[in-house]
Amino acid sequence: MNDGPVDSPGHRVSIRRVRLHEWREVRELRIRAVSDPAASIAFLASLEDEIAREDAFWQSRTADAALGENAAQFIAEADGRWIGTATVLVRSAGERDTLGRVVPMSQADLVGVFVDAANRGAGILGELVAAADAWARGAVGAVGLTLDVHAENLRAQAAYRKLGFEPTGLVLETVSGSEIQMIRAAG
Ligand SMILES: CC(C)(COP(=O)(O)OP(=O)(O)OC[C@H]1O[C@@H](n2cnc3c(N)ncnc32)[C@H](O)[C@@H]1OP(=O)(O)O)[C@@H](O)C(=O)NCCC(=O)NCCS
């Protein structure tokens, strides 16, 4: 399991899994993410949805993200401030993914990806994805990462391609538009 800090030379950024008691920070970062100008093509939930959730929701989500066997949320932290996040969710064959599809075989999905606008273009996404990938391999033996990205979210697509993700060819039409599935097999 890769819960320890990963130093990023030059940026004083560390990458680690969230901790059980950090539900307020998890909520604050999520609210920042869904307030992003790109939020409507990046996240399924809206700002209104997230603001309406009770504390118990964030406590439960954070417990799963911190300790769960099938979920782990990673954050990038710089000088005590959370500046990015990525979550990996493991689905067993027959379970449904975030977009409601039944998955044919076990897979590790990357979701809830966000880097603070001031910190983009600095390689932080790559470090978050590396931590998520290492956890998925170590915890459940995942052989790669899968994700869905909105067809209009060109910045995210470019960022994922740079990290070695490729479209699987599957495109799902949703109420908010087309979602392109991408995969990166374990190297
Ligand atoms: C998606 C996200 C995590 C990527 O992190 P990032 O640090 O911005 O990624 P990078 O800068 O390393 O890579 C983005 C690439 O897209 C390019 N790019 C920027 N704007 C672009 C645009 N409008 N169209 C196409 N490419 C674009 C960048 O130039 C960069 O490529 P380069 O390094 O070759 O120049 C971050 O932008 C983010 O949090 N966005 C808002 C939330 C989001 O979209 N989350 C993903 C949901 S699937």
Establish whether residue 108 lines the binding site of ligand 1, counting it when its CB lies within 6 angstroms of any ligand atom: no
Q: Give the separation between CA 72 and CA 109, rounded to whole angstroms.
A: 11
Whole-Å CA distances, 74 to 18, 26, 62, 89, 113: 6, 10, 11, 12, 10
**Going by C-beta distance under 8 Å and a sequence separation of 6 or more, which residues neighbour residue 102?**
94, 95, 96
Q: Record the tokens describing residue 56, joined without a space.
A: 């118990």
95 CA to centre of ligand 1 in angstroms: 30
Q: Which pTM was predicted?
A: 0.92
Query: Quick one: which of 110, 140, 95, 144 has its CA closest to 42?
Result: 110
Establish whether residue 158 lines the binding site of ligand 1, counting it when its CB lies within 6 angstroms of any ligand atom: yes
115 CA to centre of ligand 1 in angstroms: 9
Q: Record the tokens describing residue 104, joined without a space.
A: 């044919």
155 CA to centre of ligand 1 in angstroms: 3
**For residue 16, which amino acid is it?**
R
Looking from the CA of residue 41, the nearest atom of ligand 1 is 44
Predicted local confidence at residue 187, as pLDDT: 67
Kindly list the domain boundaries of the chain, sorted by start residue: 13-185
Q: Give the separation between CA 115 and CA 74, rounded to whole angstroms.
A: 12
Establish whether residue 111 lines the binding site of ligand 1, counting it when its CB lies within 6 angstroms of any ligand atom: no
Return the CATH architecture of domain 13-185: 3-Layer(aba) Sandwich (3.40)
Which regions of the chain are under pLDDT 70? Answer: 1-11, 187
177 CA to centre of ligand 1 in angstroms: 19
Predicted local confidence at residue 122, as pLDDT: 95
